[in-house]
Chains A and B, each alone.
Chain A
Amino acid sequence: MPSGDPIVRVQNLHKYFGSLHVLRGVDIDVRQGEAVMLVGRSGSGKTTLLRCINFLEEPTVGSVEVDGLKVDADPLRSRSREHREQIRQIRVRAGMLFQEFNLFPHMTVLQNLIEAPMRVRNLPRGEAVALAERYLAKVGLRDKRDEHPARLSGGQKQRTAIARALCMEPKVLMFDEPTSALDPELIGEVLGVMEDLAHEGITMIVVTHEMHFAREAADRVVFMEEGQIVEQGPPEQILDSPRDPRTQQFLRRFLATGAGASAD
């Protein structure tokens, strides 16, 4: 369970897309072993926050610190080369899972898993393969090792992507709506893997509309609206007895429309 110093520290993060102010000063600390779920309606800035933490979006103002490496926003990229290398280091520490999985279609499952460990972490092939097999077993896909992603179901693809991220042995895993591209019957297998990881003490930040999952697996639920954190706390508190009227309204509407069938 969560303990000690923050592994992720986001300070005063702002993001503009043109004149659109998407993140309006977000501060959040995530401690070692903590599972944080970001909830809120579409357009509230959850996904942008996640993408700013590993700089897939360049923040406009603020700073991000992952495992002791702090990088300030540099929207003009004035420190170009050095800045890019720091961002790369942040990304090695913060693994990312996408809605659309984004497995490499021209590689087998195993090749997907060993590519970055061999070429980024410079592991010898044997070690990378052993690592890959361990994590494939963990997500229950040991027998899919030599398949191409095209032959996997959506749930298997996302589990493969989780194994691929784990092979980099990151300090934190970030999930951007990992089940929203999946058929309903495949959601459970992915959430199951994620829940196991959460219970094993893997630090994770998850953008999700799956409230049941948040209740089961989260140490903390963070409710966002209009680019700001409105309310946060243990899942029971936020989901059952939210204090802020905006959280109350969101959850009311969410339950009314039936567990995330509509994201808006």
Chain B
Amino acid sequence: MVWVVLLGLLAAALAATDNVDTEWIKTWAPLIAGAAGLTVVICIASIALAIVLAVLGALGRLSTNPFINGLASLYVSLVRGTPLIVQIYFIYFALPSLGIILPALPAGIFALGFNYGAYLTEIFRAGIQAVPAGQREAGSALGMPDRLVMLRVVLPQATRIVTPAIGNEFIAMIKDSALVSIIGVREVLWNAETAGRPRNNTIEAFIIAALIYWVLTIIFSLFQERLERRMARSDR
């Protein structure tokens, strides 16, 4: 309720300054909003890639094999120690000189997935370690090989443990996905920028973009809440 009043006042204030062209908004808002679908697609594809990388990364970080362990920790350290925007530039602009040429959309998805995979690796590792040791022992005591214990006993429980954290990362990713506009992926921010620039309607354009990201994060927060409630009900 308070939100509605405050936002109403803000909108009125903006309209009163006469810098905001409401006609322009009416024309362009739907076109900019049309890119929300692509933003969501980018995020879903990227989080899927990130989860795959994270499971592998977490298993690597927990491996006793020094090479695999080293590889996984190098991945995490390298990705977390460099800016996402540098990673995007590197994949889109630098990789082609090594002969790896990716179009903008796959490059953006790959960069986001690769980046979030490193953060999720640590989350998955913590989740795997949070499964009680007795669960592993029970699986082993039934004669299950280590791989089967991991696959059937530990990972399903770890997945439940990390689901809320994955949700949080996904919401952060919705916002970070705006960064891929710099390599020309035609998602929400790119559309807003392209529409706003020529006629100098940047205030309107970026307000629309901001609202779209905000609405998307709210929608997914609600979705996440429901998912968590359902999981809480299903057991424990």
Interface residues of A (CB under 8 A from B): 54, 56, 84, 88-89, 91-92, 95-96, 98, 100, 102-106, 115-116, 119-120, 148-150, 161, 164-165, 168
In Å, the complex CA distance between A119 and B148 comes to 8
State which of B16-24, B50-58, B130-138 sits at the interface with chain A: B130-138
Q: Is the CB of B235 within 8 A of A88?
A: no
Q: Residue A119 contacts which of B141, B152, B160, B235 (CB distance < 8 angstroms)?
A: B152
Residues of B in contact (CB 8 Å), total: 22
In Å, the complex CA distance between A103 and B217 comes to 37
In Å, the complex CA distance between A25 and B148 comes to 34
Q: Residue A91 contacts which of B143, B153, B156, B157 (CB distance < 8 angstroms)?
A: B143
Q: Is the CB of B134 within 8 A of A100?
A: yes
Q: Residue A116 contacts which of B135, B143, B157, B234 (CB distance < 8 angstroms)?
A: B143
Q: Is the CB of B235 within 8 A of A91?
A: no
Closest 8 CB pairs of A and B: A102-B138, A92-B143, A116-B142, A96-B141, A102-B134, A148-B235, A91-B143, A120-B143
Q: Which residues of A contact B137 (CB under 8 A)?
A: 56, 96, 98, 102
Q: Is the CB of A105 within 8 A of B236?
A: yes
**Given A106-B156, A150-B235, residue A119 in contact with residue B135 (CB < 8 A):** no
Q: Which residues of B contact A104 (CB under 8 A)?
A: 135, 138-139, 153, 157
Nearest-neighbor residue (CB-CB) of A106 within chain B: B156
Nearest-neighbor residue (CB-CB) of A115 within chain B: B152
Nearest-neighbor residue (CB-CB) of A119 within chain B: B148
Q: Is the CB of A105 within 8 A of B152?
A: no
A236 to chain B, nearest CB (A): 32
Q: Is the CB of B145 within 8 A of A88?
A: yes
A58 to chain B, nearest CB (A): 12
Q: Which residues of A contact B132 (CB under 8 A)?
A: 100, 102
A160 to chain B, nearest CB (A): 12
Select the residue from B137, B157, B160 with max chain A CB neighbours within 10 A: B137
When each residue 143-157 of chain B gets 1 if its CB lies under 8 Å from chain A and 0 otherwise, what string results?
111101000110011
Q: Is the CB of A98 within 8 A of B145?
A: no
A98 to chain B, nearest CB (A): 6
When each residue 97-140 of chain B gets 1 if its CB lies under 8 Å from chain A and 0 otherwise, what string results?
00000000000000000000000000000000000101101111
Q: Is the CB of A120 within 8 A of B142?
A: yes
B144 to chain A, nearest CB (A): 6
B79 to chain A, nearest CB (A): 30
Nearest-neighbor residue (CB-CB) of B155 within chain A: A106
**Given A98-B134, A98-B137, A150-B236, residue A105 in contact with residue B157 (CB < 8 A):** yes
**Given A56-B137, A150-B235, residue A88 in contact with residue B143 (CB < 8 A):** yes
Q: Is the CB of A115 within 8 A of B236?
A: no
Q: Which residues of B contact A95 (CB under 8 A)?
A: 141-142
When each residue 197-213 of chain B gets 1 if its CB lies under 8 Å from chain A and 0 otherwise, what string results?
00000000000000000
